[in-house]
Amino acid sequence: MIDRPRKVSGQVRSIDPAALEMIARAEQIGAKTPWDRLEEQQPQCGFGTLGLCCRNCFMGPCRIDPFGEGVQEGICGANADIIIARNLVRHICTGTSAHSDHARDVVHALRLAAEGKSDAYSIRGKRKLLRLAEEYGIPVDHRPLNEIAKDLADFLLAEFGKQEGYLMNVARAPEQQRKNWERAGSTPRGVDREVVTGLHMTHMGSDNEAEHLLLAAARVALADGWGGSMIATDVSDILFGEPSPLRSRANLGVIRPDEVNIVVHGHEPTLSDVVVAAAQDPELIEYARQKGAKGINLAGICCTANEILMRHGVPIAGNFLHQELAMMTGAVELMLVDIQCVFPALAELQKCFHTKVVATSLKAKFPGVTHIEFHEENALEIAKRIVRLAIDNFPNRDPNLVNIPRYQQGLIAGFTTEVVYQILGGRYRPSYRPLNDGIQSGRLRGVAGVVGCNNPKFPQDASHLTMVRELIANDVLVVQTGCGAIACGKAGLLAPEAAKQYAGKGLQEICEAVGIPPVLHLGSCVDNTRILTACAAMVAEGGIGDSFDKLPVAGAAPEWMSEKAIAIGMYFVASGISVVIGQPLPVKGSKFVVDMLTRGLEKHFGATWWFEPDPIKAAHWMIDCIDRKRVALGLPPPMYPVPYQPKTVGEPIVTHVAAVGEALAAVGTCPGPNARTPEPD
Ligand code: NFS
Ligand code: SF4
């Protein structure tokens, strides 16, 4: 397939043994991986890395000299601060629109289910439907469920195009957060409106004040966190059922040598959930047997995997950087993709194997890939057609190309805000009290959300695992979503046994008493909103702070790569939860913006961003945040000895100022205006 000599890199590409096996396999068969393509991109553009290029109008493109010696303004006069702040707003608008457009589709499916217009969907989360209806003032007494569901769907659809007032879910936030947003002008209005206004503000010659742009960026992100993403989570629970803890497995070893393997990859649960049903259809299973297979095996990649793992226990084939590796097992009959995080490279790779990539979304076509358009109205019929296509492809499998790594790990997933109520308080006394008590006593030091992607710039999974192990060793309970959760699943950290092996004594005691792993899998990336609602429950329970910014909690995305991750990080920070990320945001070309993000936002929202590629240092930064909150609340130090000691009085706890210095130092490493990508050898 590739006529160019392959480059070999000495750098570790992954710490997942299954991935390493497949990367070696890629070398053998001459297939390219994202790591190879990353090498081909070296050196990556310094202007882009620092955020210093502007293409917002066509007098440009313009770029700012990062060394402060050359050109310092674009043709319109925009300086680095303006260009960088505008670029950040645009990234957050894209991330927010991805989550929110996904949400809209789920709500649309709910409406079809309520109207009886879909062959696949019904109301499986009755309890949640009634709870939401009550919250939003939709009458429930003596009404059939589908009428209530239709009213709820209409109500939520209107949240996207809302023209007056703020998003309803803003009311779920503590009073202090709402006050902060009001004061900063960051309270989110209609979801679509915030994206449109955000983009408008970045049009050439519109908003030119960096701080004002960043507060608008927060508003867009909050429309994601408390709007689009939160709606996606809530409605998925109503339509596909509320998750509850269940066992499953993760890594490429879940692909079966003797069955028809279908790998779903992407984000929307509307199709994948129906594929789960189709793959269990007795007629199709019989059809698979006729073709010589022992059955039909479904596995997932990325967040659509998390959705069907949480609700059906469907095993996980891998996270973001596993997508091509899964195909390289030679045993995947069909890879079903929808939207977001799907490499166009899959189209080329499928030529090496019998695998058929099937795209399904009107919003995401791939040249060279079979397109079977998905419509919610006849979802089951389409899903069955796709499963049949996979079965028909089974006889085309070349046994000589089959190479499935044996690695897989057991895990527990299916934790939600509601589940945590129940497992902690018991079925008859659901409560967050035991969690808050654990934090108040110091048995638990705090809670950390470690979420987000893989990025070939980091050895796959290494930062996630190192950070998570350091946190739990220090008695910090970790909650996870997205590809980070999958990384932990593959490494055995989502199993209860991990508590004994890695957790500190306090966290171990809690895990043993309640029967949970030290790392809780909360779902897909839109389900990061479960962290927000869980924090709201902790605040409501009392005793550990009456607002998010007072809670001993922190967030991280150590291997992030997507614009969605920027939106998520920003809505956490704007909600009062500080966030550390692995590679910096593309803002380092502006001292002002770096300073605002890593320090200035504290005065608006009580939280900041932090950039730290070293996962241990980043974990310590999170623990420092947690300890600072504990001290402010008058809580005792950790109950048991911990490897990372709380800072003593007098030591600086959060070293914001250092970040600015580091940022400026990094500007000096920019390849500069005349850097050229070397010719391929
Ligand atoms: Ni989140 Fe999920 Fe993974 Fe990153 Fe992509 S799949 S939505 S963006 S890569 S965590
Ligand atoms: Fe250049 Fe200004 Fe146009 Fe951006 S908006 S491309 S800085 S002229």
Structure tokens at 488: 């932990």
CA distances from 613 to 22, 263, 599 (A): 26, 32, 18
Return the best residue to mutate from 47, 53, 55, 57 for the ligand 2 pocket (most ligand atoms within 8 A of CB): 57
Quote the strand ranges of 66-204, DSSP E.
none
Q: Is the dihedral of CA 169, 174, 175, 177 positive or negative?
A: negative
Q: Which residues are CB-neighbours of 230 under 8 A, at least 6 positions away?
A: 169, 172, 529, 532, 533
Return the best residue to mutate from 92, 99, 272, 302 for the ligand 1 pocket (most ligand atoms within 8 A of CB): 302
Neighbour-count burial of 367, counting CB atoms closer than 10 A to its CB (0-12 exposed, 13-18 middle, 19+ buried): exposed
CA distance 234 to 485: 20
Residue 247 phi, psi (nearest 5): -95, 145
CA distance 139 to 338: 36
* Nearest CA owner, ligand 2 atom 6: 60
What pTM, to 2 d.p., does this model score? 0.94
Structure tokens at 679: 């010719």
What pLDDT does residue 546 have? 96
The Å distance, Cα 648 to ligand 1 centre, comes to 38
The Å distance, Cα 224 to ligand 2 centre, comes to 28
The Å distance, Cα 564 to ligand 1 centre, comes to 8
The Å distance, Cα 660 to ligand 2 centre, comes to 26
Q: Is 302 in the pocket of ligand 1 (CB under 6 A)?
A: yes
Return the best residue to mutate from 265, 303, 488 for the ligand 1 pocket (most ligand atoms within 8 A of CB): 303
What pLDDT does residue 424 have? 76
Q: Which atom of ligand 2 is nearest to the CA of 60?
A: 6
Q: Is 562 in the pocket of ligand 1 (CB under 6 A)?
A: yes
Ligand closest to 58 (CA) is 2
Cα atoms found within 13 Å of the Cα of residue 190, Cβ hemisphere only: 14
Ligand closest to 559 (CA) is 1
Ligand closest to 267 (CA) is 1
CA distance 487 to 401: 26
What pLDDT does residue 427 have? 61
What pLDDT does residue 462 have? 98
CA distance 592 to 555: 23
Q: Is 341 in the pocket of ligand 1 (CB under 6 A)?
A: yes
User: Around Cβ 41, how many Cβ atoms within 10 Å?
Assistant: 11
Q: Is 204 in the pocket of ligand 2 (CB under 6 A)?
A: yes
Q: Is 74 in the pocket of ligand 2 (CB under 6 A)?
A: yes
First vs last Cα of the chain: how many Å apart? Answer: 18
In terms of DSSP H, where are the helices of 115-144? 126-136
The Å distance, Cα 63 to ligand 2 centre, comes to 9
CA distance 460 to 23: 12
Do 515 and 496 touch, CB atoms closer than 8 A? yes
Neighbour-count burial of 124, counting CB atoms closer than 10 A to its CB (0-12 exposed, 13-18 middle, 19+ buried): middle
What pLDDT does residue 281 have? 97
What pLDDT does residue 68 have? 87
Ligand closest to 206 (CA) is 2
Q: Which residues are paired to 480 by β-bridges? A: 450, 521
Q: Is 567 in the pocket of ligand 1 (CB under 6 A)?
A: no
Q: Which helix (H) or strand (E) holds 467?
A: helix 462-473
β-pairing verdict for 246-250 and 409-413? antiparallel
The mean pLDDT values, 10 residues at a time, for the chain of 681 residues are 44 94 95 96 95 98 94 98 98 98 97 93 96 98 97 98 96 98 98 98 98 98 98 98 97 98 96 96 98 98 97 98 98 98 97 97 96 93 98 98 98 95 74 93 98 97 98 98 98 97 97 94 98 97 96 98 98 98 97 97 98 98 97 97 83 42 41 34 32
Ligand closest to 90 (CA) is 2
* Nearest CA owner, ligand 2 atom 2: 76
CA distance 449 to 533: 13
Nearest to 214 by CA among 491, 559, 608: 608
Return the best residue to mutate from 341, 458, 522, 526 for the ligand 1 pocket (most ligand atoms within 8 A of CB): 341
